[in-house]
């Protein structure tokens, strides 16, 4: 006999019960001139290039929520496995959770089979999941990695489409970045040249696209290992405010004060020296 407190496994896919509630709320909110909260999108420029020794991935660091910059230093290059990293554009929560899920799955696979995962496997898992959700997960991903079969760069779209290409850009600044990549990409480039190319592509996205900005992150994946340079280049625009805007204590008036003494007895005391060298 089933116990009454056993949790039911939820039905697969999305639960759309709240859609009608949201529509009703939106109607009420619009009448009161307030808007429903917008999900944070990464409105981004991400790019990837395959070079002679490995794969170079790059991304900007601005996350926008509508027209406001929500995060000036957000990390868009996500860890998948020791030999694979993934850049994500689209809805921030979707890219983070999807790449996290992929990373966990691949770790379990590595432990089960004793092998490093291949890039094609990661791509197939991503494609399978995004297609199953019919585009409701708004994540455009660039997956790059080095495995026993070589250096690979793939893109996975939100509806589940994939593409295997030597150079790539995604996000709202993709057209600007692609212009630079189309102009200067050559097959089998040297590592330093590839890093400069990706940096220039992201920089062009940052300048031309309002959804991208701030700093540039670069991730270099080679057979020897991974070099995650964050930030590769800091934005040259530092805020140079002329006056200092500090407030004296007491500027905010205290209306009431209530002090609750906490009676504690010392049970154990340990001293740890800080290394202030």
Give the interface with another protein as residue ranges (CB under 8 A).
Answer: 41, 43, 62, 64, 67-69, 72, 90, 134-138, 157-159, 161, 172-174, 206-214, 235, 237, 239-243, 245, 247-248, 250-253
Catalytic one of 44, 64, 95, 155: 44
How near is the Cβ of 155 to another protein at its closest, in Å? 11
How near is the Cβ of 242 to another protein at its closest, in Å? 5
Nearer to another protein, 149 or 242 (CB): 242
Max Cα-Cα span within the chain = 73
How near is the Cβ of 35 to another protein at its closest, in Å? 12
How near is the Cβ of 92 to another protein at its closest, in Å? 13
Nearer to another protein, 103 or 214 (CB): 214
Q: Around 16, how many Cα atoms within 13 Å sit in the side-chain half-sphere? A: 5
DSSP letter for each residue of 212-270: --S-EEEEEEESS-EEEEEEEE--S-----SS-----TTSSPP----------------
44 has catalytic annotation: yes
Contact 125, 102 (CB under 8 A): yes
Contact 177, 204 (CB under 8 A): yes
Nearer to another protein, 131 or 159 (CB): 159
Nearer to another protein, 123 or 139 (CB): 139
Whole-number Å distance between alpha carbons of 199 and 217 = 8
For residue 135, give both structure tokens.
């585009």
At 71, is the secondary structure helix, strand, or coil? strand
Contact 198, 215 (CB under 8 A): no
Catalytically active residues are 44
């Amino acid at each position: 006999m089933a116990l009454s407190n056993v949790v039911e496994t939820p039905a697969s896919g999305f639960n759309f019960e709240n859609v009608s509630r949201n529509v009703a709320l939106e109607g009420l909110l619009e009448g009161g001139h307030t808007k429903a909260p917008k999900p944070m999108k990464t409105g981004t420029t991400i790019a990837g290039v395959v070079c002679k020794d490995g794969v170079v991935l790059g991304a900007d660091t601005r996350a926008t929520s509508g027209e406001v910059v929500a995060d000036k230093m957000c990390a868009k290059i996500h860890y998948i496995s020791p030999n694979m990293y993934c850049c994500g554009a689209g809805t921030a929560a979707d890219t983070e959770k999807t790449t996290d899920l992929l990373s966990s799955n691949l770790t379990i696979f590595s432990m089960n089979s004793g092998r490093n995962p291949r890039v094609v496997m990661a791509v197939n898992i991503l494609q399978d999941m995004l297609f199953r959700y019919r585009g409701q997960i708004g994540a455009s991903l660039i997956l790059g990695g080095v495995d026993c079969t070589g250096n690979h760069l793939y893109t996975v779209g939100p509806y589940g489409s994939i593409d295997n290409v030597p150079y790539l850009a995604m996000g709202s600044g993709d057209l600007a970045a692609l212009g630079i990549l189309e102009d200067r990409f050559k097959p089998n480039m040297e590592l330093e040249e590839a890093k400069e190319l990706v940096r220039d592509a992201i920089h062009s996205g940052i300048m031309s696209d309002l959804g991208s900005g701030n700093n540039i992150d670069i991730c270099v994946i080679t057979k020897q290992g991974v070099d995650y340079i964050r930030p590769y280049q800091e934005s040259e625009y530092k805020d140079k405010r002329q006056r200092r805007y500090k407030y004296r204590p007491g500027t905010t008036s205290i209306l009431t004060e209530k002090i609750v003494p906490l009676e504690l007895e010392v049970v154990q005391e340990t001293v740890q020296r800080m290394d202030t060298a």
